[in-house]
Amino acid sequence: MTEKEYGKLISNMAPKSPIVKDCFNAFWIGGLICTIGQLIMNGYAALGLDKTDAGTATSMSLVFLSALLTGLSLYDNIAKHAGAGTLVPITGFANAIAAPAVEFKTEGFVLGVGAKIFTIAGPVIVYGVSASVVYGIIYWITTLF
């Protein structure tokens, strides 16, 4: 069997993707996630937080909700229908961090959760935390004078 014949065989056997339906679901579910984020931000603003603090609290809330839904095995069910719509940066990142930890929890907290939680996003987290510490120390030193 030649490569061309093999490619044709695979394309005939592969299930057809309903691209219009997939795009529609990604659009409306991703939009719904963003709308929920905006509602949360408006709620924090109504409680008296300024725009910057409300944005920070909203980001923390969305990360928490995404990690919670991942831990309850609900985020994957949403992602099955939404596809790329769940990759809204902050919620998708939280899911990417929490999912390996949940998957390997049977191996224990240290070797399972502790070791696997940083598998996907580990370098980003380590760099972000390290940069924050360095920036904080520099900021603290400059405020001393």
Kindly give the confidence (pLDDT) of every residue in the chain, 145 residues in length, as a single tens digit, with 9 standing for 90 and above.
788 888 888 888 888 878 899 999 999 999 999 999 999 999 999 999 999 999 999 999 999 999 899 888 899 899 888 888 888 778 888 887 777 767 665 666 656 555 666 666 666 666 777 888 999 999 999 998 7
pLDDT at 106: 60
pLDDT at 52: 95
**13, 16, 82, 129, 143 from 6: Cα distances, Å:** 11, 17, 31, 48, 67
pLDDT at 123: 67
**Where exactly are the structural domains of the chain?**
3-103
- Residue 16 gets which letter from DSSP? P
| Block residue for tokens 């299930």 | 15
| Block residue for tokens 């409306």 | 28
Task: Please state the pTM of the whole predicted model.
Answer: 0.66
- Residue 108 gets which letter from DSSP? -
**17, 70, 100, 107, 125 from 115: Cα distances, Å:** 36, 18, 9, 10, 14
